[in-house]
Each structure stands twice: as C-alpha cells, then as structure tokens.
Amino acid sequence: MKKILIPLLLIGATCCGAKANAQEVFKKKGYQVTFINKDAAFSTELKDKLIKTFFEVYPKLAKEYNKNTSKKVTFVIDTAYDGVAATGNDTVVFSAKYMTKHPGDIDVVTHEVMHIVQAYGNSVGPGWLTEGIADYVRFKFGVDNAGAKWALPAFKSTQNYDNAYRITARFLVWTEKNFKPGLVKELDKQLRDHTYTNDSWKNLTGKTVDELWAAYAANPAI
C-alpha cells in the first residue's frame, strides 16, 4: 500500500483491554511490535492474528532481504484512516474499518512490513516496483492469502509491468521462473543501495524490462 509518514501521539499506558488508545508491547526472539488500538470495538481475536502474522512473517523477510531491518515495529489501528494500510517510520497504520470488514485479510501485514524491510529511503527506483515487490513477497510468504481470497491476477493485454501491486508481482514471478531466479532479491538490494537503474533488468536477465514484458505477454503462464 502507499507509504506515508505519520506522526504518532501515543496515548495511554500498556494494558490488555479493548480500550481506545490502548498500547501493548509484544516481544519474541529479538523482535518487538507495539500495538496501539484507537478503536475500542476492535476484535481481540483479529488483533491476535495480526500480531501472530507479524512474528511469523517479519523474521523471515528480515533473513531473506535485509538483516539490518528494524527490530522494533509499531502497529496502529486507526479509526480515522480511510485506506487499507500505510507504512512509514517503522509504523504500520491499519484502517480499523477495513480490517473489521475484512478480518481474513491478515496478510496486509505481510505486504506492509515488507515496506519496512525494503527501507529504500529516497530511492531512485520506481514506486511501481516497490509495490510490486511487496505483493510478490505477500504471494511468496503470505500465511493465509487463500483465506482473504487474494491471488495474483490473470494476465490481460491491457496490463503493463508498471501497473504495480499484483500485476507487477505476477510479472516478477514469471521473470524469476523463466529468466533469473533470485531476481527480486537482487532488485530489492539495488533499490536499498540506490544502485538501481533502468539498465538493471538487462544486466540481470539479458533483456530490458520492455523485452521481458513482451516475452511475458506472449506466454504468461506461471
């Protein structure tokens, strides 16, 4: 989802009740998530699922992509946020309304915490690739995409590689399968190191991104 920078006003002490502005801290195997709930009606069961997903997924993403990623993350359940979720400054803000309406979509966590792992800063890389990698990671590491009825979309001739999110993610899956295993890990590192250029695709696969897309469009099976 779109990354934003959000100043946080931490109100209330650590507690265990379903209380607006309640703050709880959870730690496991060197990682920590601070959970700030601004919705008194938010489901405790759903909160537990979000936290469980964090501890299941985040260490794997850190190991795979960025061992120097932050060990401390904050989750905020926000009644005022109208999107799905947004990430900035090691903080993920979830829409209370969206998550309550879609309690099975727990792999919103997987996509959003990948943005923390990415840590591209003021990268020269394109936003469509950043979001495509995050959805690729959701596809690969998601704990219950099926439960959310979330899947990569079928190819359509109206699509393009820079459509971002799932469309780009599917293209990345195909390119790894057909041209360069480990491509996403390489691109992710270049984006974080600020060494990514338009030539990265050709240097890594032997083809430009446009040439890869043409080949993908001709035979998009994954």
As a whole-number percent, the residues of the chain with pLDDT over 90 amount to 89
Confidence of residue 21 (pLDDT cuts 50, 70, 90): confident
In a domain, 196, yes or no: yes
The arithmetic mean of pLDDT across residues 82-99, rounded, is 98
* Domain C-terminal end among 84, 118, 152: 118
pTM of the model: 0.91
Measured CA to CA, the distance from residue 5 to residue 141 in angstroms comes to 25
DSSP characters for 124-147?
Answer: SS-HHHHHHHHHHHHHHH-S-TTT
In a domain, 5, yes or no: no
111 and 30 part of one domain:
yes
74 and 136 part of one domain:
no
pLDDT of residue 19: 63
Q: How far is CA 98 from CA 21, 42, 79, 197, in A?
A: 18, 11, 9, 36
Asked whether the beta carbons of 125 and 196 are under 8 A apart, the reply is: yes
Measured CA to CA, the distance from residue 172 to residue 155 in angstroms comes to 13
112 and 163 part of one domain:
no
> Where in the sequence is the domain holding 173, given as residue range(s)?
127-218
Tell me the pLDDT tens digit for each residue of 124-133: 899 999 999 9
Mean pLDDT check: name the lowest of 5-19, 103-117, 132-146, 160-174: 5-19
> 180 is written with which tokens?
């360069």
* Domain C-terminal end among 95, 118, 141: 118
Domain count, the chain: 2
Where residue 75 sits, what CATH number does that domain have? Answer: 1.10.390.10
Q: Is 194 left (phi over 0), alpha (psi -120 to 50) or beta?
A: left
In a domain, 13, yes or no: no
In a domain, 212, yes or no: yes
